Structures are given as structure tokens and as C-alpha cells.
Amino acid sequence: MALGVLDQEPPPFFRQGTSAFSKLIVFSAAALFLMVADTRFHMLQPARVVLQAVLFPMQWLAQQPGLLAAEAALFIDKVRSADAVHSGLLEQLREQSARAYQVEQLALENRRLRELLELRPTLSVFGKAAQVVYDAADPFARKVVIDQGQAQGVKLGSPVIDEKGVLGQVTQVFLLSSEVTLITDRDHATPVLNVRTGARGVVYGDTSSHADAMELRFMAANADVAEGDLLTTSGVDGVYPAGLPVARVEKVDRQVNAVFAQIYCVPVALVSGAGHVLVLDAVADGVPPRPDIPVAPPHTRGRR
């Protein structure tokens, strides 16, 4: 209803108190005053707090049906996810059981062959668990710091692995912590063995293609290397035990005028998201020392 149609004075028969127009003016002025006062001086904040406390039980009751429905849907999703994970783990357990039987048979054959050939038995490698504390401050290096140091028996040069493969090598040891250089660092080299072909090589950290990348260098352009080949530690460097997964070949670039092929690899280990690692003992600790080879004295020239 427009303001113009409201009469200033009600009919005498219905005259009861203040007119409607006066009430409109008073309440409008009160509303403007309260809005300005609350905006500038926050005068209605205590009243708002009291009103919120009074209405909270009703709000809580109104929210419960929606929360219960959301919890029920989340519970059903978790049950389905757990069932899928359980089925996958059972299948993986069956595969691992079959492989375990084969490994036991191969280990027995390997032990008997070594005894037959009078070879030195394989080295037993032990390790200790550690946790990654933080990444190194150097932005140009790929290093992390773990919470195990000299007090816990960590030695310089010890290899570090995670649940998937080789992560790096201990390059600095402190009293209660150690610095690990990751295998993707540009100055780190790892001797590897191609599982498919048995060829040996060396992989280096290379961040030219992407952050977590490696390069298998000094391989001939016609070398038998294919995409998807698994590279494991060769065990000839005296640091890493043999057979640990290191990287997988991602791309092979062969150029006609180049002597070596450009082979790009991706690490198997979680170099960017490792949380818990295992620090192994260096292979050189279990290798007997190199025998001293006598050096023949230089030949003396005869006098004329």
C-alpha cells in the first residue's frame, strides 16, 4: 500500500491511539538508529550473542538429520572402499605367495650352487627405520633430513630406501639427524643393472624434463634399452645392495649424429613424498678389505 493512501487521522469511530503513519515514522527511525548504532558502535552484539545461545539447541536439532544422512553415506562409501581394498590385497597376497614359493626354491638353488662353486655367500644387509623431518634448504639440491644420526649408528654413505625402492644416500651425518641426497639430485650417480638385458650402467639425477627425473648416461646409441625397462642396483659400487629397484625407463631418444643415446628415467621410490624410510648398512662394511699388493721397486738405470 502506498504511503499516499494512508490517512493522517483515522475516522472518529475507529480512533484508537497513534495513527499508522506515526507508527511507521517511529519504527523506521528506530530501525535506522539501530542499524547505525550496530554498525558503528556494535551495540547489538550482546543481544546477538544471547539470541544465538537461545537458538543454538534448535539449530543443533535441525542439523542432526542432515548430519546423520551424511555420516551414513560416508560409512557406506568407506565399507565399499574397504571391501575393494580387501579384495585387491587378497589377490596381491595370492600372487606374492606364489612368488614366495619360487623365491625359496631359487634361494635354495643359489645356495647350493655357491657351495658347489665355493663362492663367497651373499652379504646380509641390515637397516634401521627413520622418518623424514624436512627438506633441505638448498633449492638447487634434492636432499632431505631424517631423524636418525650418529647417536643411532647411522654412517656416512649408507643407502636409504623406502617401501618401493632406492631413495638416496646419506651424505652428511650429525649427532641426532642425517642429510640424505636423493637419487634425483643432479650430482648423484647410481650404478644400475637392466633387469631385462643384464647390461650395466649409471643413472644420474636430471631435472631438465621434470622435477623427479633421471638419465641413464653413456649408453651407446644402438644399446638394447626400451621404454619400461626396470633398472635395479648392480651392487658393484660397494654402497647399494644388488637388486633394489631404482628407476624405470620412460623415454629413449636416439639421434643419428650422436654417439650416446639420451635415456630418460623416472624413479621408482617416492622421492617427493617419502615419510618413513629405512637406512641400510653400506655393502662395503661387509666386504673384506682389499689385499695389499706389493709394488715392485722402479728399475734403476745402469751407469755408463
- Residue the block writes with cell 491511539: 17
The domain boundary, picked from 96, 119, 142, lies at 119
181 band by pLDDT with thresholds 50, 70 and 90: very high
Cβ–Cβ under 8 Å, residues 172 and 128? no
In a domain, 5, yes or no: no
Give mean pLDDT, residues 43-62.
84
Q: What Å distances lie between residue 90 and 94, 122, 162, 232, CA to CA? A: 6, 32, 23, 27
pLDDT at 304 over 50: no
Per-residue model confidence (pLDDT) at position 159: 93
What SS3 class is residue 260?
A: strand
Which residues pair with residue 215 across a beta bridge? 204, 264
Residues 115 and 138 in one domain: no
Domain holding 251, by residue range, is 127-285
In a domain, 245, yes or no: yes
Residues 112 and 132 in one domain: no
The domain boundary, picked from 103, 119, 135, lies at 119
Q: What percentage of the chain carries pLDDT values higher than 90?
A: 33
Cβ–Cβ under 8 Å, residues 289 and 271? no
Cβ–Cβ under 8 Å, residues 284 and 156? no
User: Which amino acid is residue 89, in one-letter code?
Assistant: L
Residues 177 and 34 in one domain: no
Residues 178 and 264 in one domain: yes
Tell me the HSE value of 164 on the side-chain side, using a 13 A CA sphere: 17
Residues 188 and 207 in one domain: yes
DSSP characters over 138-190: -TTS-EEEES--GGGT--TT-EEE-SSSEEEEEEEE-SS-EEEEETTSTT-EE
In a domain, 12, yes or no: no
Cβ–Cβ under 8 Å, residues 123 and 236? no
State how many domains the chain has: 2
Residues 159 and 237 in one domain: yes
Distance CA 103, CA 10 (A): 104
Residues 217 and 153 in one domain: yes
Residues 113 and 132 in one domain: no
Residue 9 buriedness (CB in 10 A; 0-12 / 13-18 / 19+):
exposed
| pTM to 2 decimal places | 0.58
Residues 66 and 155 in one domain: no
Q: Which residue has the higher pLDDT, 246 or 8?
A: 246
In a domain, 13, yes or no: no
For 1-32, what is each residue's pLDDT tens digit?
Answer: 455 555 555 555 555 667 778 888 888 988 88
b/e per residue 177-194 (b: at least 16 CB within 10 A): bbbbbbbbbeebebbbbb
Run of H or E including 67: helix 45-117
Cβ–Cβ under 8 Å, residues 194 and 231? yes
For 150-171, what is each residue's pLDDT tens digit?
Answer: 999 899 999 999 988 999 999 9
| Cell of residue 107, nine digits | 634361494
Give mean pLDDT, residues 209-219.
83
Residues 226 and 248 in one domain: yes
In a domain, 294, yes or no: no
Residues 105 and 183 in one domain: no
In a domain, 4, yes or no: no
Closest CA to 231 of 207, 203, 262, 253: 203
Residues 107 and 48 in one domain: yes
The domain boundary, picked from 119, 143, 160, lies at 119
CATH number of the structural domain spanning residue 248 = 2.40.10.340
pLDDT at 259 over 80: yes
For 93-146, what is each residue's pLDDT tens digit?
Answer: 888 887 777 777 787 887 788 777 766 555 566 788 999 998 887 777 889 999
In a domain, 66, yes or no: yes
Distance CA 146, CA 174 (A): 10
